[in-house]
Amino acid sequence: MKRLAVFSVVAAGALLSSAAAHAVPPSGSIALNQLDPTPPGDAFFGVASPTIGGHLVPRGVLMLDHSRSPLSLSSHSVSGDVVGSQTFLHLAGSLALWDRLLVSLLMPIAVSQDGDSPSVGSTTFSSPRTAQAGDLRLGARVRLIGEDQDVFQLGIGVSAHFPTGPSNSYVGEGAVRLSPSLLVGGRVRRVMWSAGLGMVARASSNPASLTTGGGIGVLLLDSRLHVGAELFTSTLLQQGAFHVTEQRRIPLDLFSTGAELLLGARGRVYNDVLLGVAAGPGLTTAIGNPAFRFIGSVSWSPAVAPQPRRAQDPDEDGILDTADACPYAFGPRSDDPKRHGCPRWDLDEDGVDDLDDACPDAWGVKSEDKTKNGCPLELPSLDRDGDGISDAEDACPDEKGEPLKGDAAKRGCPVTEQAPDSGEDPYQ
């Protein structure tokens, strides 16, 4: 007998109970559906994002999910589908709070299941035939970094599946599943992207798994249409076994990985109503990994305008960054926009800010003349002899003289009269 896949759940988790570790689970005690739909309001179908989408904004979605051959058996003597197809109706709602927190609720209902009930020897693997409710999911996530429509956003999330469905019909596990996750995403112009990493931990005997996912898409028609591709995987973190009957089980190998690819589109057709469609193949042979999946959805998702960026004040001077000319330096208010919120420096302590001080290194006084503002006062020049030459430059400050140019030693000194030269030698 050959198993054709390893099961995967698109979520994450970190807690595992061993209460039922020694109990033999009934056949079909696995939530076979690999798709764990994202909360209403997300851009992708199976890859969650850190986007929140406003405050007190409710959203809802009705999703039809059909998968082919999620569980097949093959041996030398027989082959067939234990579960040939599953069709789920997912009813989900979400509420955005404070543009930081998103809470969500999802109820999966298997409206149709079928299979071949293949036999190996004397053992028959019974296929599910009836509609069944699945395990109720309650989730929450918080965006830690970024705002809606930012290039980069970071968030964390956690969801819990509660055993509301039967544990023998491939729709539930009869125990709680806890799934924490780390989410990143963003928007670059018309391109949107999301990626996630997490775990699924189970209180049942089914092994825990590591989950990853990534999606990228483009917004068209004035952002009314989103077209994208997404890939999600799951890798087993424990060895274990899947019980196809109470007597027979299939071993599950450590690090076995399942993967699915989806190509999809969502469009806003009328006000807050969106229609979505997606389809794609399973890329590996894994329990729960279908040969092909088709998704159709109708959702109610009010559009929310981007919130204005919150003004900040890192220097705590009471002036918000939007108006602060020096946002990282504490400073007082000013009527001059170029100095509003900037520090005031006065190195010479003369009461004139250095920015206005014409003599910042010399103590001075205020002046309406910008070239002299903050400069020392100039004392009036002294001229005791009244000859128009200041005493500082006058060689004879107490005698009225003439300004002799070029000879500093005689400047301001009286000019002495000399007799005319007769040309005779007075000593002859």
Give the amino acid at 425: D
Residue 78 confidence (pLDDT) above 70: no
Q: How confident is the model at residue 315, as a pLDDT?
A: 74
* Mean pLDDT of the region 279-307: 88
CATH of 57-300 given 2.30.40.10, 3.30.1230.10, 2.40.160.40, 2.30.29.30: 2.40.160.40
Q: Considering only CA atoms, which of 155, 114, 110 is closest in space to residue 135?
A: 110
Q: What angle do CA 252, 256, 259 make, to 5 degrees?
A: 125
Q: How confident is the model at residue 380, as a pLDDT?
A: 60
Q: 186 pairs with which residues across the strands?
A: 193
**pLDDT tens digits along 335-353:** 778 778 787 777 777 777 7
More confident residue, 85 or 122: 85
pLDDT tier at 325, thresholds 50, 70, 90: confident
**What is the average pLDDT score of the chain?**
81
Strand duo 240-243 + 249-252: pairing: antiparallel
Domain layout of the chain by residue ranges:
57-300, 379-414
Residue 410 confidence (pLDDT) above 90: no
Residue 13 confidence (pLDDT) above 50: no
Residue 51 confidence (pLDDT) above 70: yes
Q: How confident is the model at residue 357, as a pLDDT?
A: 76
* Mean pLDDT of the region 70-94: 83
Instruction: Report how far Cα 349 is from the mean position of its chain's Cα atoms.
Output: 48
pLDDT tier at 116, thresholds 50, 70, 90: confident
Q: What angle do CA 85, 87, 91 make, to 5 degrees?
A: 160
Q: How confident is the model at residue 17, as a pLDDT?
A: 30
Q: How confident is the model at residue 250, as a pLDDT?
A: 64
pLDDT tier at 290, thresholds 50, 70, 90: very high
* Mean pLDDT of the region 233-249: 70
Cβ–Cβ < 8 Å for 202, 175: yes
* Mean pLDDT of the region 169-198: 94
Find where tokens 């999620």 sit: 70
Percent of the chain clearing pLDDT 70 (strictly above): 81
Percent of the chain clearing pLDDT 90 (strictly above): 41
Q: How confident is the model at residue 168, as a pLDDT?
A: 81
Q: What is the pTM of this model?
A: 0.65
Q: How confident is the model at residue 248, as a pLDDT?
A: 59
* Mean pLDDT of the region 81-109: 94
Q: How confident is the model at residue 153, as a pLDDT?
A: 96
